[in-house]
Structure 1
Amino acid sequence: MSRHLPRFANLAAIVLSFWLVVGAALAQTTAEPPDYEEWGRIAERAEQVVERGQASEDALEQLRAQIAQWRDRFLAAQSQNATRIQTLENQLEALGPPPEEGAEEPPEIAERRAELRARLESLRAPVRNAEEAFTRANGLIDEIDEIIRTRQVDELLSHGPSPLVPANWATALREASHAARSLETEVQTAIGTPSRVAEARDRLPVIVLLLAAGALLLLRGHRWVNNLGDLMRRRTRRGTGVWSLLISVGHIALPFAGLSAIVWAAALSGLAGPRLSQLLTFLPVAFALLLGYRWLGQRLYSPLDAEAVIPLEGGTRREARNYSTLLAGLLVVQLVIGAFVDLASLSQATEAVLQFPVTVLLGLVLFRMGVILSRFRGVELAENAFVNRVTRFMGRLSILVAVLAPLLAAVGYLNASLLIRPWVVTLAIAGLVLILQRLVRDVDQLLTGRETAGEGLLPVLIGMALTIAALPFFALVWGARTAELTEIWARFREGFVVGETRISPTDFLVLVVVFAAGYAATRALQNGLRNSVLPRTRLDKGAQTALVSGTGYVGIFLAALIAISATGLDLSSLAIVAGALSVGIGFGLQNIVSNFVAGIILLIERPVSEGDWIEVGGQMGIVRKISVRSTRIETFDRTDVIVPNGDFVSGVVTNWTRGNTIGRVIVPVGVAYGTDTRKVERILREVAEDHPLVLMDPPPSVFFRGFGADSLDFEIRAILRDVNWVLNVHSDMNHAIARRFAEEGVEIPFAQRDVWLRNPETLFPDRSTPPKAAAAAPEAAPPPRAPDPYLDRPETDAESDGDGR
């Protein structure tokens, strides 16, 4: 039965054995050095087995597992005496370089150098033996894996009898009938044996109890689960997705427990016969597959939009749910046929005939399912785009597999046609991953109280981890051996070599933990400085920011050095990397480095501080944050502008509030010709002196700037105690000037222009009287209206933006 039951039918046992092997590999210690003589005998025997190539697959797997255990011991032995070897190397380095040829050194140093070298070679000998043995074990494992993979490929591509040949039908009918009669005879023999009947009679109370419990769970389990679900929905309104999923799992667990109880009762009776008992033990697995696929269909294509993981359109959801259950049923039939063929030792022709109609039906259902998935569009959101594309892609692949499998079965490639089963299981695993990712988002929503599920970063990271964790299961389904997965883990544990140092995953874990601890300590120190220590000093805000930032960079640098040293990595081996990095900085990263250095200069010299009103590169605003690479400026339009720090060092920067907030306001004013200029000067001075933000030391000044085209031009210049309010002061003075001019009768002029036409007759070619005569006596022009000092004043560019500027 093991030949035809796919690997996913025994998935739990395979995964368990995988972790047992991993645990055994991790449990290897270096308490005792390897016995190289025993290893030599095992290696020679393994080489002979590999050369012959006649051992069974099970024997090869056992031999490979034994060699893998030795290899783990050799890997652990390679780090033997590592600390002592490093100490001796440092001692030799402390003695200085050996003398050149023909040169001599003091006898004491030469003797000490020879002694250290001898001790170093004696300590390195076991390490070299372990490295040689590790290499030999690796080679043997690769050869065994190659033999097993070749056999698997040959078996997959083997050509057998075609189910379309009529002569095979009679053979299949005859062999299947004979096998069924044999099972019936076994049952009759068991029932007719008095000892077995007596044994079943003794176990009758337990058997009846199991049958009753199984029947009760099968008949009433669904109702119990539904009642529990209604109770949970009434008690809480949050986390409905979580409760719905847990309730749906109950629809699988209770019926499965009921059927398992019935099968257990049949096995306890002992009246089924040996071969029928083996089929009965497979029955719970088949029933679990049927329930599992039905559950997946209910969760993936739920009729409720809020619960559907793949929200198909219209009636295709019900169709997809039905096809999911039908796929599981056909899959179970295929597995039962394979188990029946193995138990009865039927021929390959009989198996091909029995499996062919099921394969055709499975292909038809899978084809329709693939069409539904390939047409799926879903909600085209950013977070759903990838899932939608993958769903459509898997639908197209399903169509391809559904067409190929029956064709391969028809021409006699039975083993290749049975690959339709792992593809169906692949769809199930992918659907299960989507359901678990949805569960993570629902749990996050339940715990955090967010309105929309999956808004945080943690659900996304857990979803990625679930996808990565599913990769070994995909590999097992498609025929990967447990030994191959453990080999990947062994290669990972082996690590890689940097210089003369081997970096293993354990070293990497130490690196991450030490750096994380140093990073956390640095952040804690920064928070202490920022919140407790620096506020009690006389340093301004810019100096405090510079000190906190500098502490952070120094702490992170020290944490990285300590973490690298903790792994045993020689820092001198990083010289090549540092050289390459310096070249990259010199060419590709020069702007980033320039801004970084400029940021350090800004934090140290502090020509610009947070809260200053500055103008740089045509941008004017308030400095909100100075970082190492750039500075954030908030403009008066409430927009953030990110300015590289290099512009502050290489460009011109105007700081309106550096050191203090005193600044000057300039208000231009124009009056009509003929106005008393001294009167205007007096009014303007009084307006300036009356404003509360204008300083009297130095006093405001009023200047008669000149004779303009339309007005006499004056200007107020005053010093303000807070230049941040310059636009408000400008506006207040304009209002005051307009009011005082209206009270004093001072006219604010507006521009006037006279237009004279050189040849006006060209405008009236049809008139007999030249318009010049009319032009000689022009009509009296209407008297000009008195200008309104409020309506006719020209607009000024000093407008308040709501921020007092």
Structure 2
Amino acid sequence: MIVMLRLLALVIFALAGPVPQVLAQGGAVADISQGTAPDYATWEATARRAEDAIEAGRASNVALEQLREELATWRSTFLSAQSTNQTRIQTLREQIAALGPAPTDGAVEAPEIAERRAALDAQLARLQAPVLSAEEAYRRADGLIREIDTIIRERQADELLRLGPSPLNPANWRAGLSAVTGTLRIVTKETTRALDSPILRTELRNGLPAIILYLAAALLLLLRGRRWMEAATMRLSQSKSHRARSVWASLISLGQILLPFIGLLALIKAFSVAGVLGLRGGQIANLIPPAVMIFFFGRWLGGRIFPKVSLRAPLFNLSPERTAEGRWLASGLGLVLALGGLLRQVADFGNFPIEAEVTLGFPLLVLAGILMFRLGQLLLAHVRADAAESEDRVYRNRLAQLAGRGMMAVAVAGPALAAVGYAEAATFFTYPAIGSLGLVGMLAVLQRFVVDVYALLAGDEEGAENALAPVLIILFLSVLALPLLALIWGARVADLTELWARFAEGFVVGDTRISPSDFVTFLVVFAIGYTVTRLVQGGLRSTVLPKTKIDAGGQNAIVSGLGYVGIFIAGILAITAAGIDLSSLAIVAGALSVGIGFGLQNIVSNFVSGIILLIERPVSEGDWIEVGGVMGTVRDISVRSTTIETFDRRDVIIPNADLVSGAVTNWTKHNLTGRLILPVGVAYGSDTRKVEQILKEVAESHPIVIVNPPPQVLFMGFGASSLDFEIRVILRDVGFSLSARSEMNHEINRRFAEEGIEIPFAQHDIWLRNPETLAGRAATPETETPQLSGPRPPSAADVALREPVQDSGADGDGDR
């Protein structure tokens, strides 16, 4: 609970801004926004006091933290002072640069220019003096802060490594018993003294109705509140009619924390109204609510991670018995964490001796070790069960296995260190480990809740698990949890504020300091420019360009070109608005551009080729092109590549450089007309004039064949097996060339069949040399052993092909 309050203070400090204008001890820190210079006399006194404290090394950690906070305020002031007169200083530098470089090698410039240069230099030096003073003071304050941080960290490390009394030594048990009995004796004495007071008894009688009411509410909420909320959560989880049952079940389950906590507050209020608590009892009563809240939270978190009834697959693949054990272990760890924090704070204001703290804290460390060891075994059991049922969660199971073994190691190491005498080291490892487990478990519960909310809003319960938005939200929450994790493991609030201060300061590029506000300005301006560009593109694409006579490819080129220009202008405006001066990077960028040019020359070539394609538009979207043996329709032209959809519905990515430098056939660039050549073969002995007339009639009768110029039928020659003709026609739409070829082939086959014209096919005549040899072998019985002196069988050379084979197929499959 204390860690959470510290984190809240950190968030408030961060939201207040990187340069708070507050009052420091010893004098007022100047308000830079009003143009007042810092009070360097007061700063000098503060700095000397800090240097003396650091040199002496006797100040407590609390005193050093207060001194560090004061130095941090001064440092923020000096950081703001470094930006004083920056606009005027930049103007003077530009004026001096306009005069040209100062003369060298004994050269003399005009008296007027020399006088003007000297005046500007003197003015620039006068304006830069406060900036240099602020920078020097900033460096001094920053160095003192680092020295204080080093001292505190070294003390913390020494404390962890300090060997103290062992809790196993019976001589130390008396100190622990005396501390407990002494505290109880003080509380009892204060209560007895209060009850013996007549005034208090009178007030007690007057406030008796209120006390009874508070006690009744406390007992009712403490004993029944959690069960009511748990029963309501179970009923809602099992309901099938409520669409948002998982979301409402998660929200209602928080009542398991709130109602018992309200009952506890009512109980403490009853004792407060009764007035029976003295000074020590009041101190303990103030510590009880945060500690009990930690216990309630641990019990609730265990119920969410190891639920009795789950609407979806549970986080861990465990049996019902092991799941119930997980709930008990989570509640036990919450109780140990609450009692450990309560014991530490009671020991602080009770001034318990170190022997008493060690003795009283050792049973809690042992109990925490037992619970963590059992919880680690549960994780390992989940990994074994999950690995046996599924193989697609290897990475998650590996993390769970690593976490389980780590918990078991900490469970053993914590009590062992405490038993030896390293109580601080044992506490450092055990309690932060429990807190880290609670934080990770809370993130897991939040992940489920975010998915449920997304499924409710999107109306897609099945796709919510794999949606990107819940993942990004959980990632953002995980980043926000990092400061809390650091505080759990002993980081000081000052450490986190130091990181924030470093982040707020930004970094220096040349003579320009770039801060987070500059990044925010850059992102906002660029986002606005990008949005405006997309809106203009959408307006042109849907409203303006369709009403013009520009073709689809030209419209796409205009819209794409406008997008590139708009994004470039948005980037320039964003850099200018953020005040980022990149002139100092010109030399470095020039040197890097040479190496990048060689390494990215293909990408740059494709980018330039894409610009050329958008400007010249040799190909446009929707064109039917052929490039590099790939034929298809252009679907998209980007700055790097062009996407072609082939006729088998596959996308082929072609680099733009190939379209610019290579040979490209554009079948539909200027119009859709194109020529079709259809070869036809007829048998020898056919009437060629009749064949020519039939083919011309077939070509002229097709609906997409253009009659001007008229179709041509040519007698091309005498083939090996046929008389070869060709039909050459111009189609209105070359995209239908395949269907036109098929339809004309069907018609040619029908007309040839009607007119008795034969379509030839390939034939083979085989001549055998010495056929009597085959006849003699056929007459020989199968059981007869062939004679070595007999006639030889025919070889491959004895088979002669009388005429070459002509394949009548279109795909050239070979001989038949």
TM-score scaled by structure 2?
0.89
**Equivalence for 1:6:** none
Distance in 2 (CA, whole Å) between partners of 1:159 and 1:675 is 116
Q: Does 1:56 align with 2:60?
A: yes
- 1:368 is displaced (CA, Å) by 1.8
**Equivalence for 2:338:** 332
Same amino acid, percent of matched pairs:
53
Q: 2:473 is paired with a residue of what secondary structure?
A: helix
Aligned residue type for 2:356? T
Distance in 2 (CA, whole Å) between partners of 1:261 and 1:384 is 47
- Relative distance call for 1:327 and 1:308 in structure 2 (3 A) is farther
Distance in 1 (CA, whole Å) between partners of 2:342 and 2:517 is 46
Q: 1:522 is paired with a residue of what secondary structure?
A: helix
Distance in 2 (CA, whole Å) between partners of 1:198 and 1:99 is 97
- Relative distance call for 1:447 and 1:555 in structure 2 (3 A) is same
- 1:124 is displaced (CA, Å) by 0.7
- 1:185 is displaced (CA, Å) by 2.8
Q: 1:108 is paired with a residue of what secondary structure?
A: helix
**Equivalence for 2:355:** 349
- 1:303 is displaced (CA, Å) by 4.1
Deviation string 1:161-205 (CA, Å, 9 cap, x unpaired) is: 112223333443454344433433333222223333333334333
Distance in 2 (CA, whole Å) between partners of 1:221 and 1:254 is 5
- 1:628 is displaced (CA, Å) by 1.4
Q: Does 1:533 align with 2:553?
A: no
Distance in 1 (CA, whole Å) between partners of 2:651 and 2:18 is 56
Distance in 2 (CA, whole Å) between partners of 1:75 and 1:381 is 57
Q: Is the 8 A contact 1:585 1:593 kept in 2?
A: no
After TM superposition, list the pairs within 5 Å mapping 1:214-253 onto structure 2: 214-222=218-226, 224-225=228-229, 230=235, 237-253=242-258
- Relative distance call for 1:457 and 1:577 in structure 2 (3 A) is farther
Distance in 2 (CA, whole Å) between partners of 1:154 and 1:525 is 65
Distance in 2 (CA, whole Å) between partners of 1:279 and 1:307 is 43
Q: Does 1:295 align with 2:306?
A: no
After TM superposition, list the pairs within 5 Å mapping 1:51-450 onto structure 2: 51-222=55-226, 224-225=228-229, 230=235, 237-307=242-312, 310-315=315-320, 316-377=322-383, 387-418=396-427, 419-450=429-460
Using the TM superposition, name which of 642-651 and 457-466 deviates more.
Answer: 457-466
Q: Is the 8 A contact 1:437 1:466 kept in 2?
A: no
- Relative distance call for 1:641 and 1:653 in structure 2 (3 A) is same
Distance in 2 (CA, whole Å) between partners of 1:693 and 1:582 is 56
- Relative distance call for 1:741 and 1:625 in structure 2 (3 A) is same
- 1:246 is displaced (CA, Å) by 0.5
Q: 2:102 is paired with a residue of what secondary structure?
A: coil
Distance in 1 (CA, whole Å) between partners of 2:76 and 2:66 is 16
Deviation string 1:733-778 (CA, Å, 9 cap, x unpaired) is: 11111211222222223333234444664697573499999xxxxx
Structure 2 spans left out of the alignment, 5+ residues:
22-30, 792-806
Q: Is the 8 A contact 1:197 1:271 kept in 2?
A: no
Distance in 1 (CA, whole Å) between partners of 2:214 and 2:770 is 121
Using the TM superposition, name which of 340-349 and 408-417 deviates more.
Answer: 340-349
Distance in 1 (CA, whole Å) between partners of 2:269 and 2:399 is 42
- Relative distance call for 1:424 and 1:438 in structure 2 (3 A) is same
**Equivalence for 2:572:** 561
- 1:683 is displaced (CA, Å) by 1.8
- 1:242 is displaced (CA, Å) by 1.6
- 1:133 is displaced (CA, Å) by 0.6
Using the TM superposition, name which of 183-192 and 653-662 deviates more.
Answer: 183-192
Deviation string 1:572-613 (CA, Å, 9 cap, x unpaired) is: 212034214422332111000000111111111111111111
Distance in 1 (CA, whole Å) between partners of 2:582 and 2:531 is 23
Deviation string 1:364-416 (CA, Å, 9 cap, x unpaired) is: 21012112224544599999766544333322221221111111011111111
Find 2:500's aligned residue among 474, 489, 502.
Answer: 489
Aligned residue type for 1:426? S
Q: Say what the alpha-carbon RMSD is for the aligned residues.
A: 2.8
Q: 2:606 is paired with a residue of what secondary structure?
A: helix
**Equivalence for 1:467:** 478
Structure 1 spans left out of the alignment, 5+ residues:
1-8, 774-792, 799-805
Distance in 2 (CA, whole Å) between partners of 1:330 and 1:40 is 49
Deviation string 1:113-167 (CA, Å, 9 cap, x unpaired) is: 2222111111111111110111110011111111111111111221111122233
Q: Is the 8 A contact 1:444 1:454 kept in 2?
A: no
TM-score scaled by structure 1?
0.90
Distance in 2 (CA, whole Å) between partners of 1:223 and 1:341 is 34
After TM superposition, list the pairs within 5 Å mapping 1:600-639 onto structure 2: 600-639=611-650
Distance in 1 (CA, whole Å) between partners of 2:755 and 2:259 is 99
Q: Is the 8 A contact 1:309 1:435 kept in 2?
A: no
Find 1:453's aligned residue among 457, 461, 464.
Answer: 464
Aligned residue type for 1:346? F
Aligned residue type for 1:706? G
Q: 2:726 is paired with a residue of what secondary structure?
A: strand
Q: 2:101 is paired with a residue of what secondary structure?
A: coil
Q: 2:751 is paired with a residue of what secondary structure?
A: helix
- 1:93 is displaced (CA, Å) by 1.4
- 1:730 is displaced (CA, Å) by 0.8
- Relative distance call for 1:16 and 1:201 in structure 2 (3 A) is farther
Distance in 1 (CA, whole Å) between partners of 2:776 and 2:165 is 110
- 1:460 is displaced (CA, Å) by 2.3
- Relative distance call for 1:174 and 1:582 in structure 2 (3 A) is closer
Distance in 1 (CA, whole Å) between partners of 2:724 and 2:599 is 56
Distance in 1 (CA, whole Å) between partners of 2:126 and 2:394 is 62
- Relative distance call for 1:440 and 1:595 in structure 2 (3 A) is same
Aligned residue type for 1:430? V
Q: 2:254 is paired with a residue of what secondary structure?
A: helix
Distance in 2 (CA, whole Å) between partners of 1:582 and 1:748 is 68
Distance in 2 (CA, whole Å) between partners of 1:381 and 1:72 is 55
Aligned residue type for 1:164? L
Aligned residue type for 1:408? L
- Relative distance call for 1:168 and 1:73 in structure 2 (3 A) is same
- 1:564 is displaced (CA, Å) by 1.8
Deviation string 1:198-221 (CA, Å, 9 cap, x unpaired) is: 333343333223222222323443
Distance in 1 (CA, whole Å) between partners of 2:237 and 2:314 is 21
- 1:475 is displaced (CA, Å) by 0.5
Using the TM superposition, name which of 708-717 and 416-425 deviates more.
Answer: 708-717
- Relative distance call for 1:18 and 1:190 in structure 2 (3 A) is same
* Count of paired positions: 772
Distance in 2 (CA, whole Å) between partners of 1:665 and 1:201 is 113
After TM superposition, list the pairs within 5 Å mapping 1:713-728 onto structure 2: 713-728=724-739
Distance in 1 (CA, whole Å) between partners of 2:100 and 2:490 is 58
Q: Is the 8 A contact 1:25 1:69 kept in 2?
A: no
Deviation string 1:244-294 (CA, Å, 9 cap, x unpaired) is: 211111221111111121122223322133223322222222221122112
Distance in 2 (CA, whole Å) between partners of 1:433 and 1:385 is 20
Distance in 2 (CA, whole Å) between partners of 1:72 and 1:174 is 49
Q: Is the 8 A contact 1:301 1:312 kept in 2?
A: no
Distance in 2 (CA, whole Å) between partners of 1:265 and 1:179 is 22
- Relative distance call for 1:322 and 1:393 in structure 2 (3 A) is same
Distance in 2 (CA, whole Å) between partners of 1:374 and 1:490 is 42
Q: Does 1:13 align with 2:5?
A: yes
Distance in 1 (CA, whole Å) between partners of 2:401 and 2:282 is 43
Q: Is the 8 A contact 2:237 2:310 kept in 1?
A: no
Q: 1:705 is paired with a residue of what secondary structure?
A: strand
Q: Is the 8 A contact 1:92 1:116 kept in 2?
A: yes
Distance in 2 (CA, whole Å) between partners of 1:175 and 1:636 is 89
**Equivalence for 1:652:** 663
- 1:704 is displaced (CA, Å) by 2.6
Distance in 1 (CA, whole Å) between partners of 2:654 and 2:497 is 53
Distance in 2 (CA, whole Å) between partners of 1:724 and 1:765 is 62
